């Protein structure tokens, strides 16, 4: 696959995952999507994505807005939408396992139904499906090494994801399994277990190449191995030495992020272009670029990313 033939979008995460005081690494980390005030700032962020040179952004409808309100924002920004993301919590992390068919179990997938509705509304046929990012879980403190592995837990999350796949498929949306460091699906053994136990006609693979490499997995080899199931990808660059240190020295997810793990494309050590060359010629999904924590002003970060993309696709 030639990189110039791929479809690219930018996640707005540069503006979302920020420090309360950018000059103080020990200040609080903020997730702006969760801030009710952010809806007023969202149009400006979308405009900056467009002005940086991108034509598409990842679908992210805020809890505080309707589909129609979000659609107006996107139209006014002049952007297309790339597939969104849905995470599924593990019941045993939140009080205990849920009996199939119970009121609680049925409502466990309400957010999955919402994402299916959003996807259909905007004409998107795929979605990234992941285990929950739970900052209270032990893996947030000991990421990228499959800490505290439990086959019983892996079977439970596989069963929960299988049910989420059913919910999405029933609405005509095909999910791709998304690996995410710090969750119960972060290692090769874990994502391969899920992919091996859920039929390929129901569940594809939507890897994050940065999270693969952070966990010590060769992203190019992973894409090549699962090429017939790859739907979409998240792409990010990393400080590879810092990623290694998190595995060897036990740095927490948040500490690694604060120290500058994530880099704008071309500023880290991942060979993104070579990795994407493993995609088959038949691939027609989205490549969503993410800079989970910008190393510069978010607007400048987006402009740098757009320049990098223009260079590698020229």
**Fold of domain 3-313:** TIM Barrel (3.20.20)
Asked if 85 and 28 count as a contact pair (C-beta separation under 8 A), the reply is: no
7-10 and 262-263 strand pairing: unpaired
Please provide the average confidence, as pLDDT, over all residues in the chain: 97
In what side-by-side order are the strands of the sheet with 85-88?
85-88, 126-131, 174-177, 204-205
In this prediction, residue 9 carries a pLDDT of 98
Sketch the domain layout of the chain as residue ranges: 3-313
Mean pLDDT of all residues in 134-157: 97
Element housing 263 (H / E): strand 262-263
What are the tens digits of pLDDT across the range 5-52?
999 999 999 999 999 998 898 899 999 999 999 999 999 999 999 999
For residues 283-288, give the mean pLDDT: 98
Could you tell me the sign of the dihedral formed by the alpha carbons of 42, 46, 49, 52, in that order?
Answer: negative
For the stretch 181-201, pLDDT in tens is 999 999 999 999 999 999 999
Phi/psi-derived region of residue 232, left when phi > 0, alpha when psi is between -120 and 50, beta in every other case:
beta
């Amino acid at each position: 696959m030639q990189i110039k033939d791929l479809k690219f979008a930018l996640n707005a995460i540069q503006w979302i995952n920020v420090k309360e005081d950018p000059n103080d690494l020990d200040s609080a980390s903020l997730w702006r999507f969760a801030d009710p005030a952010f809806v007023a700032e969202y149009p400006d962020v979308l405009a900056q994505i467009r002005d940086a040179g991108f034509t598409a952004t990842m679908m992210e409808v805020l809890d505080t807005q309707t589909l129609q309100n979000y659609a107006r924002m996107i139209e006014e920004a002049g952007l297309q939408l790339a597939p969104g993301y849905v995470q599924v919590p593990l019941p045993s992390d939140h009080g205990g396992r849920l009996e199939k068919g119970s009121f609680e179990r049925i409502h466990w997938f309400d957010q999955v139904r919402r994402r299916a509705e959003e996807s259909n509304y905007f004409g998107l046929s795929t979605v990234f499906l992941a285990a929950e990012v739970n900052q209270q879980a032990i893996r947030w403190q000991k990421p990228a090494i499959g800490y505290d592995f439990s086959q019983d837990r892996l079977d439970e999350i596989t069963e929960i994801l299988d049910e989420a796949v059913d919910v999405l498929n029933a609405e005509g949306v095909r999910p791709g399994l998304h690996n995410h460091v710090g969750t119960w699906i972060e290692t090769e053994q874990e994502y391969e277990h899920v992919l091996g136990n859920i039929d390929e006609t129901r569940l594809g693979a939507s890897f994050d190449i940065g999270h693969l490499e952070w966990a010590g997995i060769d992203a190019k080899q992973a894409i090549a191995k699962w090429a017939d199931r790859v739907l979409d990808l998240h792409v990010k660059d990393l400080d590879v030495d810092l990623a290694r240190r998190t595995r060897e020295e036990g740095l927490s997810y948040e500490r690694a992020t604060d120290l500058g793990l994530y880099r704008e494309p071309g500023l880290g050590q991942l060979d993104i272009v070579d990795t994407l060359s493993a995609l088959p010629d038949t691939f027609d999904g989205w490549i969503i670029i993410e800079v989970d924590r910008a190393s510069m002003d978010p607007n400048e970060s987006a402009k740098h990313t757009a320049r990098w993309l223009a260079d590698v696709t020229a």
